[in-house]
Amino acid sequence: MKINIKKLSFTIISALLISSCNLQADDKIPTVHDMLEASGLKIDYKEIDSGNIVIFPRKDQESTDRSIALSMGVYLNASYDDVIQALVDGNNALSDYPGAMFVRIKDTKNIKPHFKEVGFSKRENAEVNRLYSFKDGDNYNLSSDEIKRWRSIVKKGQKSSAVAGSFFQDVLEQRTAAYLKGGLNKIKNYDQDGDDVKVAKGMKSSSVGLSSFKKWFPEFYKDYLNYPKILSNKYIENFYWYKDVMDDRPVFMLKHQMIKVKKNMAMVAERQYYISHGLDAIQMQMIVLPYKKGTFIGLSSQSFTQKVSGFGRGIAVKVGRNMMTKQIKPMLEKLHKKFN
């Protein structure tokens, strides 16, 4: 059954590779070989054609000492339409973590009801206890105001997973409302052990590393960077919150996607603009193209994080790339299992 792609209102996945391709404007469509040959990467086409998931560290795209970049790709033995249909289910982005949740914010004018399920389960008591023992230097991406509010809650002595969940309901709701109003410019700084981490500035800086996106799709890139001041109405936009696991701990994340769909190409620009711990923020792009008798998915991801700058960056980046891989690869593995 053929899919009418123009009518899709879908939850598509996290991430993309727009490595370089010989395009002159947003309305051009690259081939897989255009992308891969111009990427500057050493490509083993036998590995690509075998359907194996390939992963490339992208030091060349790490535009600042606080960025981490990697690319992934996979050839699926399925038609383009079938792959797009499989991506309709946003759960493709989740790992197999038992407590994983994925909620689309369907009404951006009345967002509060969408956060009622935010919370911790009994199996996540270790994270709740960690939160109640919060001290300077702990790995939480909270602003100074949010930390002050949490400490006020702790002083009241009402220690429970319900109270902790309610706190994160407020954090996610407030951060979503701010982002909807002003995009990157309204993202609060993180207070990490007294350091004021300017997340918005870091995400803008790391966006420069998406050089091919900027070069070949300038209108899309500009709208992505300047949201909500967008110049085009060509996109499907989705907003989500979700809970998954990162660094063996439950983590809450906020996600914004801008999607552009053509007959033989789907393109996504996405940012995870709040992550409750671990990596500070992630920006990802994805391209889906017909290839041989199936479909190729390429993804590229850039993470901004204070934790990899300065002395020991080499080791920290390896750890960070591993975290990003664990965050992204399960989605490709699910698609690989379904079609290959």
Taking only the tens place, the pLDDT of each residue in 49-99 is 989 999 887 777 665 656 677 888 899 999 988 887 777 555 677 888 899
pLDDT digits (tens, 9 = 90+) for 107-118: 999 999 999 999
Q: Is the pLDDT of residue 207 over 50?
A: yes
| Buried b / exposed e along 129-147 (16+ C-beta atoms within 10 A) | ebbeeeeeeeebbbbeebb
Q: Is the pLDDT of residue 5 over 60?
A: no
Task: Give me the chain's average pLDDT, please.
Answer: 80
In whole angstroms, what is the distance from residue 137 CA to residue 115 CA?
Answer: 28
pLDDT of residue 16: 36
| Angle value at C-alpha 158, between 154 and 164, nearest 5 degrees | 70
pLDDT of residue 24: 44
pLDDT digits (tens, 9 = 90+) for 253-304: 999 988 887 788 888 788 999 999 887 888 888 888 999 999 999 888 777 6
pLDDT of residue 322: 73
Report how far apart, in Å, the C-alpha atoms of 265 and of each of 11, 275, 325 are.
16, 29, 24
Domain assignments of the chain as residue spans, ordered by start: 5-121+168-184+198-339
In whole angstroms, what is the distance from residue 340 CA to residue 335 CA?
Answer: 8
Q: Is the pLDDT of residue 208 over 90?
A: no
Are 301 and 282 in contact by the 8 Å Cβ rule? The answer is yes
In whole angstroms, what is the distance from residue 274 CA to residue 90 CA?
Answer: 18
pLDDT of residue 188: 93
Who has greater pLDDT, 107 or 214? 107
- DSSP symbol at 269: E
Are 195 and 186 in contact by the 8 Å Cβ rule? The answer is no
* DSSP letters for 226-239: HTTS-S----EEEE
Who has greater pLDDT, 105 or 269? 105
Which residues, 6 or more positions from 82, have their beta carbon under 8 angstroms from its beta carbon?
295, 339
Q: Average pLDDT for residues 189-210, to the nearest whole number?
A: 79
pLDDT of residue 2: 41
Who has greater pLDDT, 200 or 12? 200
Who has greater pLDDT, 46 or 38? 46
Q: How far is CA 1 from its chain centroid?
A: 31
Task: Work out the pLDDT band at 142, boundaries 50, 70, 90.
Answer: very high
| Buried b / exposed e along 298-328 (16+ C-beta atoms within 10 A) | bbbbbbbbbbbeeeebeebbeebbebbbebb
pLDDT of residue 64: 61
pLDDT of residue 214: 73
Q: Which of 192-206, 268-282, 314-328 shows the lowest per-residue confidence on average (mean pLDDT)?
A: 314-328
Q: Average pLDDT for residues 207-221, to the nearest whole number?
A: 74
- The label of the residue with tokens 């499907």 reads 236
Who has greater pLDDT, 155 or 267? 155
pLDDT of residue 319: 57
In whole angstroms, what is the distance from residue 204 CA to residue 239 CA?
Answer: 20
Q: Is the pLDDT of residue 310 over 50?
A: no
Who has greater pLDDT, 252 or 159? 252
pLDDT of residue 266: 83
CA nearest neighbour of 14 among 240, 228, 295, 328: 328
pLDDT of residue 120: 97
Q: Which of 59-63, 101-105, 117-121 shows the lowest per-residue confidence on average (mean pLDDT)?
A: 59-63
Q: Is the pLDDT of residue 18 over 60?
A: no
In terms of average pLDDT, the best of 26-35, 156-165, 177-186, 229-238 is: 177-186
CATH, domain 5-121+168-184+198-339, list 3.30.530.20, 3.10.310.10, 3.90.1300.10, 1.10.10.10: 3.30.530.20
